[in-house]
Amino acid sequence: MRIVSYNTAGGPRADSETVLTEIGNEMVGGIAKPIDVLVLQEQTTIAATTAAFKELLNAAYADDPAAVYAQGVLQGGSSGAGRPGVVYNSVTVELIDEVAFGVVNGSAQARQTLRYQFRPVGYGPEADFYVYSNHYKSGQSDTARREVEATALRADADALGEGAAIIYTGDFNIYTSSEPMWATLTGSGAGQAYDPINRVGTWHDNYGFRDVHTQSPVTTARFSGQVTAGMDDRFDFQLVSGELLDGEGVSYIPGTYHAFGNNGTHPFNGELDFMTNTALPTATLTAIANSSDHLPVVADYQVPAVLGVTADTIPGKVIVGADVRWDVTVENAAEVVVAHGADELDYTIETLAGDLVTSISDVDSALGGGNLHSLAIDTATPGSHGGAIEIASTSHAVANNHVAQYAFTNVVDHANPSFDATDDLDIATIDFGVVALGSSTLNRPAALHALESLLGDTAALDLDVIVASGDTVALSTTLTTFAGLAAGEQIDFDAVLDSATPGAFATDLQLEFSDEDLPGEASGVTLMLQLLARVAIGGDADTDGLVSGTDYLAWAGHWGQSAGAWNDGEFNGDGVIDGLDYLVWAENYGTSEQSLLAVTVPEPASAALLAAVLVPLGLRFRRRRGASA
């Protein structure tokens, strides 16, 4: 916050806007910002001069939504030479209260003291600070009256109690720190005042204090009533209570206190805008000299920290062993233009509930982007895991001093595929047995199961890859890859046999599974499925590839049996070994698998040619038989 104390000598005047806007433009310690609190002395009336300063600032910052000025409404009593007033930026500070006190008469105070209670916008009462505006009786012979004012001021300030943040501003009209009123202001007690630049001594006409002098910027009057005599007095001050010197909460920023336009390069006892002055551009120095017979006293104060917390979400469901991190960013969210414009944020992070274990202490400066804390979530076992945390700050007057956040995830066990619904079966065989050559395509039902974990919820199952090898033309399945088979569910499929070709067949299927697509998913679980079948010529009971007398004997030895098997002579699949099975044997007697596999079906043209050759041969054979007869 930029706070200014300014005896305006009854202004504003033509150059006053330049003075105030240049105060806002001046870069001090990396800070340049519009005035936040303008404490005024020698105001004719609140309704006239103070309101005029308010309107002047609002006009100057008409295009800046961050600068909207308001004014105090309490007008203190005065016996002459104006009275205190205040204008403030309502976007950055709130005026909470105004109090006027002090007896005004010819032997006591010349003017009442005004006490303003302010609060930075966005903060709580802990951030309140008090600004006193005083215009002490002038004159070297009026030390007693200034002491009366100082005594009344300290009584009021001490009543605020220990810990009050106080700024004592105004035109003190004092020549030396040995004066009783200075001792009263700086004496011990709750409201003890300190000079933030510790430049105490005899200021009047003292070259050693030329850089802190505030009166007068001219040797020749530039407006009626302007006090002259050149720069030789430190009349204007901002003193502070000790609470504003500890660097905590609202606090004075070292190195920012100065008399605006004075860096000690002007002529001693001369005019402020003399060409040797390097403090500001000459035009600004001239505006200061033209506007009042006092220099504004400017100081910057840090605001308290603001606790800002951003907590990322975590997946609502993960798999055992997943690396789950809950990213929580804690930042000092104070709205300032430089980092040292706000108090540092001291904070802790502690667990409130759940199995998330954390205990963190850290610090963040404003504008630093915050500190990222990556909190590990326990995923070692299935179940609900995570926790609630509290981020709390112990920084003085911090805004939003504690925040609670929570994050939980459901940890599930790995998926478990099986060929059995109740047992963990990773290897299975489907054997068609012996099947007659030329039977219709045969199907055998089968299923894959996603087993449920005994430890808790279970991830869904994905079948990612099917690798088939062996006799894949004869033996195959209808199984395809899939995703998301819930635990406790199954996928049905068929094993398929094509019996068009005789022989012993085997197909091996390697099934590669993974968990559903969740953090912590695992792959590489493999199940093996083997398909077997023997396609035999009808009547080949011993499946040796030749229909022979041996097969007849097998049939004959089991004649009349029911529920017989192929090897017993049950060839037609009706379950009874009888004459129908004999007919199958008889029809194929002498046939071998080798001969069937060697047969090549001729092309139509070749078949015609073959028939043309065979017909004469057949005729010749018949003639020979006839001849023999």
Give the tens place of pLDDT for each residue, 531-550.
Answer: 999 999 999 999 999 999 99
CA separation for the pair 486, 484 (Å, rounded): 6
Say yes or no: 502 and 574 in one domain: yes
Q: What are the phi and psi torsion angles at 589 (to 5°)? A: -55, 130
What tens digit of pLDDT does each residue of 244-268 get?
999 999 999 999 999 999 999 999 9
441 with 558, same domain: the answer is yes
Residue 468, both tokens: 């088939």
Q: What is the 3-state secondary structure (H, E, C) of 96-165?
A: EEEEEECCECCCCECECEEEEEEEECCCCHHHCEEEEEEECCCCCCCHHHHHHHHHHHHHHHHHCCCCCC
Report strand pairing: 193-194 vs 236-241: antiparallel
Q: What is the pLDDT of residues 499-516, one digit of tens each?
A: 999 999 999 999 999 999
In the structure encoding, which two tokens stand for residue 590, read together?
């002498």
What's the pLDDT band for 623 if we cut at 50, 70, 90? very low
Instruction: Say if 105 falls within a structural domain.
Output: yes
pLDDT band at 21 (very low <50, low <70, confident <90, very high): very high
Is residue 430 located within the same domain as residue 508?
A: yes
Residues 133 and 65 both lie in one domain: yes
Q: pLDDT over 90 for what percent of the chain?
A: 90
User: How far is CA 337 from each of CA 31, 64, 246, rounded to the nearest angstrom?
Assistant: 7, 15, 21
Same-domain check for residues 204 and 279: yes
Q: Is residue 457 part of a domain?
A: yes
Of residues 236, 232, 384, 214, the one with CA closest to residue 289: 214
Distance CA 34, CA 24 (A): 4
Sheet holding 442-451, edge to edge: 416-418, 442-451, 490-497, 475-477
Alpha-carbon span 497 to 506, nearest angstrom: 10
Report the predicted TM-score, pTM, of the whole model to 2 decimal places. Answer: 0.80
Please determine, for residue 115, whether its predicted confidence score (pLDDT) is greater than 60.
Answer: yes
Are 182 and 220 in the same domain? yes
* Residue 511 amino acid letter: L
Say if residue 441's pLDDT is above 90: no
Domain count, the chain: 4
* pLDDT given for residue 82 in this prediction: 86
DSSP secondary structure, 529-542, as one string: EEEEEEEE-TT-TT
What is the per-residue pLDDT across 566-603, written as a single tens digit (0 to 9) for each?
Answer: 999 999 989 999 999 999 999 999 999 998 888 644 44
Q: Which residues contact 283 (CB under 8 A, 6 or more apart)?
A: 18
Residue 615, token pair as written in the block: 């017909």
- How does pLDDT run across 424-434, given as a tens digit for each residue? 999 999 999 99
What value, to the nearest 5°, has the Cα angle with vertex 177 and ends 176 and 182?
120
User: Which of the listed residues 302, 319, 348 is the one where a domain comes to its end?
Assistant: 302
Q: Are the beta carbons of 17 and 60 closer than 8 angstroms?
A: yes
Written as one letter, the residue type at 410 is N
Does residue 303 contact residue 499 with C-beta atoms inside 8 Å? no
Q: Which residues contact 582 (CB under 8 A, 6 or more apart)?
A: 555
The region of weakest confidence among 30-44, 76-90, 198-212, 228-242 is 76-90
What tens digit of pLDDT does each residue of 35-52 get? 999 999 999 999 999 999
Q: Are residues 53 and 196 in the same domain?
A: yes
Q: Please state whether beta strands 383-393 and 345-354 pair in parallel, antiparallel, or not at all (unpaired).
A: antiparallel
**pLDDT confidence bin for 628, thresholds 50/70/90:** very low
* C-alpha distance from residue 599 to each of 143, 594, 602 (Å): 135, 9, 9
Using alpha carbons, select from 162, 215, 213 the residue that is nearest to residue 192: 162
Q: DSSP characters for 11-58?
A: ---TTHHHHHHHHHH--BTTB----SEEEEEEES-IIIIIHHHHHHHH
Q: Above pLDDT 70, what percent of the chain?
A: 95
Quickly state the pLDDT bin for 625 (edges 50, 70, 90): very low
Within-domain flag for 16: yes
pLDDT at 139: 86
Q: Are both 335 and 386 inside the same structural domain?
A: yes
Separation in Å, CA 344 to CA 171, 334, 566: 33, 10, 91
Q: Which two tokens stand for residue 282?
A: 């000459």
Q: Residue 89: pLDDT above 60?
A: yes
- pLDDT tens sequence across 357-382: 899 999 999 999 999 999 999 999 99
In whole numbers, what is the pLDDT of the chain averaged over residues?
A: 94
How far is residue 364's CA from residue 343's CA, in Å, rounded to a whole number?
9
Task: Print the domain residue range for 609.
Answer: 599-628
Shared domain for 572 and 434, answered yes or no, is yes
Q: Read off the pLDDT band of 333 (50, 70, 90).
A: very high
Write the CB contacts of 516 (distance below 8 Å, at least 6 apart in sequence). 415, 459, 460, 461, 462, 483, 484
Distance in angstroms (rounded) separating the CA atoms of residues 37 and 87: 6
At 394 the three-state DSSP class reads: coil
For residue 555, pLDDT over 70 is answered with yes
CATH of the domain at 369: 2.60.40.3880
Could you tell me the two tokens for 595?
A: 């001969």
The answer to whether 250 touches 232, Cβ cutoff 8 Å, is no
Instruction: Please identify, among 249, 270, 302, the residue that sits at the C-terminal boundary of a domain.
Output: 302
| C-alpha span between 62 and 49 (Å, rounded) | 20
Residue 418 domain flag: no
User: Per residue in 155-203, pLDDT tens?
Assistant: 999 999 999 999 999 999 999 999 999 999 999 999 999 999 999 999 9
Residue 51: Cβ-neighbour burial (10 angstroms; 0-12, 13-18, 19+): middle
User: Is 417 among the domain residues?
Assistant: no
- Give the mean model confidence (pLDDT) for residues 522-539: 97
Angle between helices 51-60 and 16-25 (to 10 degrees): 60
Structural domain contains residue 469: yes
Helix (H) or strand (E) holding 596: helix 593-598
Domain boundary among 412, 440, 464: 412
Compute φ and ψ for 318, nearest 5 degrees: -140, 175
User: 313 and 287 in one domain?
Assistant: no
| pLDDT reading at 616 higher than 50 | no
> Looking at the domain assignment, is residue 531 inside a domain?
yes
Are 506 and 606 contained in the same domain? no
Q: Is the dihedral of CA 450, 456, 457, 459 positive or negative?
A: negative
The Cα–Cα gap between 186 and 230 comes to 28
Whether residue 209 sits in one domain with residue 130 = yes
What confidence score (pLDDT) does residue 355 get? 92
Contact in structure between 71 and 85 (CB atoms under 8 Å): yes
